[in-house]
Amino acid sequence: MSNCELEKALTMNQSVQVFKIWGIPVGYNTTWYLIFGLLTWSLATGYMPTAYPELSLVQYWTIALIASLFFFGSVIFHELAHAFFALRDGIKVNRITLFIFGGVAELDEEPKTPLSEFIIAVAGPISSAIAAGFFYAIYLIGQNYPLVAAPAQYLASINLLLAVFNLIPGFPLDGGRILRAAVWYFKGYNIATKAAATTGQIVAYGFIAFGVFRMFSGDFFNGLWLIFIGWFLNNAAAAHGQQANLNQVLGDVPVSRLMRPTWHTVDGNLPISKLVDDYVIKGDSRYYFVKNNGYGYEEDEHLHGMVTVTDISSLAQQAWKITPAKQIMTAWEKLITISPSVPLLDAVRQMDEKNINQLPVLDDGNLVGVLTRENVLHYIRMKADGNSSGLATA
Ligand SMILES: [Zn+2]
């Protein structure tokens, strides 16, 4: 798997870096402990005693531990293959992480050509097939030594399974990326991305259905596991589809194109109750710039900060009459602002990260407009309507 959409989910949880290769931090997410423990346990108590009877308990656990470690080594090898070809095409690899469903190489950006996408994707399953051959050779050489043969045999088959599993043509699996590269080559990027998201979700539902079937035919845990994988793949495919749509719609549009060039200004001494009655209640705006920070009546046209509907609603209503706007405003120096030439997509990302609804737009330190979430949503809706009704949109 090599999936960019995981980045958010993974960085939110705790990740531990183990080593660095080609400048890429390689590590694991804490969810990985669970799968590592589960795999070692099932190898030591189920798989190995069946495949190699008459060994001791210590030998089973040793074999299981070796097999588990090398299995996750194989997953890293698979991800490194993706990373190697991504780097070769000038794409930065942010990190390689092991987590509960396997491994992920986080690419900083999407491949720029279908060929690049194809090579980066196919490198994973090929590397796993090579690893399978390698472990099979070890198995042949060490046949008479159970401590070597048992893990080697398991690793040969699991790597082969890894290669085949990843070739399933459902995004974000490698097979889905290969499919996307092919559709991209013949039909263009947008159709390819939609097709990838759709097939990804179909495959995900397939996993879930098969998991339910397995659960009811007595194989409860494997069934449950398949359902989890299906659920995970479905989320990833859907998220990628949405992201791709957003990228396509917002594309290279700069903030200046959507920002509102006008704004409301209120006096810093205006009580919040007045602000609500005279402005907010009439739906004028969700944010107000504050001038006249002083106590006197001296004319002061400088903007000192901004007060938003969110600021007001976090103030107890009894206090509205006695609290002036300047008291709850965000001071000018502390406002998160943006420049007019920045692409909309970056602006949206900033609003998401900082959890704010508007960005004052500053050009050379001067306020030139405000970009709000509503601006962006309106624009996305307009583009969507335009596309579905067949109108040409710029
Ligand atoms: Zn892969």
Do 164 and 205 have their domain in common?
Answer: yes
Interval between CA 57 and ligand 1 midpoint (Å):
34
Query: Can you give the pLDDT at residue 132?
Result: 92
Contact assessment for residue 123 and residue 133, using Cβ atoms and an 8 Å cutoff: no
Boundary of a domain, candidates 250, 270, 288? 250
| Tens-digit pLDDT profile for residues 22-47 | 888 887 877 777 888 888 888 888 77
Contact assessment for residue 295 and residue 269, using Cβ atoms and an 8 Å cutoff: yes
Whether the pLDDT of residue 317 is over 50: the answer is yes
Which residues line ion ligand 1, judged by CB < 5 Å?
A: 1-2, 124, 166, 174
Reading the block at residue 143, the tokens are 């046949």
Binned at pLDDT 50, 70 and 90, residue 133 comes out as very high
Interval between CA 224 and ligand 1 midpoint (Å):
23
Within-domain flag for 393: no
Do 107 and 171 have their domain in common?
Answer: yes
User: Under DSSP, is residue 342 helix (H, G, I), strand (E, B) or coil?
Assistant: coil
Within-domain flag for 343: yes
Rounded to an integer, what distance in angstroms lies between the CA atom of residue 37 and that of residue 32? Answer: 9
Within-domain flag for 394: no
Whether the pLDDT of residue 391 is over 70: the answer is no
Q: What residue type is 249 in one-letter code?
A: V
Interval between CA 344 and ligand 1 midpoint (Å):
31
Do 147 and 64 have their domain in common?
Answer: yes
Do 169 and 21 have their domain in common?
Answer: yes
Interval between CA 350 and ligand 1 midpoint (Å):
30
Binned at pLDDT 50, 70 and 90, residue 214 comes out as confident
Interval between CA 244 and ligand 1 midpoint (Å):
20
The distance between the two most distant Cα atoms of the chain, rounded to a whole number of Å, is 95
DSSP secondary structure of 289-349: EEE--SSS------EEEEEEHHHHHTS-GGGTTT-BHHHHSEEGGG---B-TTSBHHHHHH
Residues written for the chain: 394
Within-domain flag for 100: yes
Do 161 and 184 have their domain in common?
Answer: yes
Interval between CA 199 and ligand 1 midpoint (Å):
17
Query: Can you give the pLDDT at residue 251?
Result: 67
| Tens-digit pLDDT profile for residues 261-280 | 888 888 888 888 888 888 88
Q: What percent of the chain is predicted at pLDDT more than 90?
A: 7
Interval between CA 174 and ligand 1 midpoint (Å):
5
Rounded to an integer, what distance in angstroms lies between the CA atom of residue 169 and that of residue 296? Answer: 70
Give yes or no for a cis peptide into 360 (omega within 30° of 0). no
| Tens-digit pLDDT profile for residues 165-184 | 888 888 788 888 898 888 88
Binned at pLDDT 50, 70 and 90, residue 14 comes out as low
Query: Can you give the pLDDT at residue 128?
Result: 92
Binned at pLDDT 50, 70 and 90, residue 321 comes out as confident
Beta-carbon contacts of 78 under 8 Å, excluding residues fewer than 6 positions away, are: 103, 124, 125, 127, 128, 131, 162, 166
Beta-carbon contacts of 292 under 8 Å, excluding residues fewer than 6 positions away, are: 267, 268, 269, 298, 299, 300, 304
Interval between CA 172 and ligand 1 midpoint (Å):
9
Name the strand (E) or helix (H) holding 186. helix 174-187
Rounded to an integer, what distance in angstroms lies between the CA atom of residue 322 and that of residue 303? Answer: 22
Do 234 and 312 have their domain in common?
Answer: no
Please give the average per-residue pLDDT across 190-196, as a whole number. 80
Do 164 and 235 have their domain in common?
Answer: yes
Do 35 and 92 have their domain in common?
Answer: yes
Query: Can you give the pLDDT at residue 387?
Result: 54
Q: How far apart are the first and last CA of the chain?
A: 36
User: Under DSSP, is residue 73 helix (H, G, I), strand (E, B) or coil?
Assistant: helix
Within-domain flag for 29: yes
**pTM for this predicted structure:** 0.63
Interval between CA 389 and ligand 1 midpoint (Å):
38
Do 68 and 190 have their domain in common?
Answer: yes
Binned at pLDDT 50, 70 and 90, residue 300 comes out as low
**Could you tell me the residue range of the domain that residue 53 belongs to?**
6-250
**Helix 57-88 vs helix 114-141: crossing angle, to nearest 10:** 150
Do 219 and 291 have their domain in common?
Answer: no
Name the strand (E) or helix (H) holding 168. none
Boundary of a domain, candidates 219, 250, 281? 250
Burial environment of residue 256 by CB neighbours within 10 A (0 to 12, 13 to 18, 19 or more): middle
The total number of structural domains in the chain stands at 2
Within-domain flag for 52: yes
The least confident of 44-53, 71-80, 239-248, 251-260 is 239-248
Within-domain flag for 1: no
Residue 264's region, left for phi above 0, alpha for psi from -120 to 50, else beta, is beta
Interval between CA 12 and ligand 1 midpoint (Å):
22
Boundary of a domain, candidates 250, 274, 304? 250
Binned at pLDDT 50, 70 and 90, residue 299 comes out as low
Whether the pLDDT of residue 8 is over 70: the answer is no
Whether the pLDDT of residue 55 is over 80: the answer is no
Interval between CA 159 and ligand 1 midpoint (Å):
12
Do 15 and 123 have their domain in common?
Answer: yes
Dihedral angle computed from the Cα positions of residues 2, 25, 11 and 83, in that order, rounded to the nearest 10 degrees: -10
User: Under DSSP, is residue 276 helix (H, G, I), strand (E, B) or coil?
Assistant: helix
Interval between CA 84 and ligand 1 midpoint (Å):
12
Interval between CA 153 and ligand 1 midpoint (Å):
22
Q: What residue type is 12 in one-letter code?
A: M
Average pLDDT, the chain: 81
For residue 302, what is the domain's CATH number? 3.10.580.10
Interval between CA 124 and ligand 1 midpoint (Å):
4
The least confident of 127-131, 235-239, 243-247, 336-340 is 243-247
Query: Can you give the pLDDT at residue 13?
Result: 52
Binned at pLDDT 50, 70 and 90, residue 119 comes out as very high
User: Under DSSP, is residue 109 helix (H, G, I), strand (E, B) or coil?
Assistant: coil
Do 161 and 235 have their domain in common?
Answer: yes
Among 97, 129, 91, residue whose Cα is nearest residue 110: 91
| Tens-digit pLDDT profile for residues 349-390 | 788 778 888 889 988 888 888 998 888 888 877 776 665 443
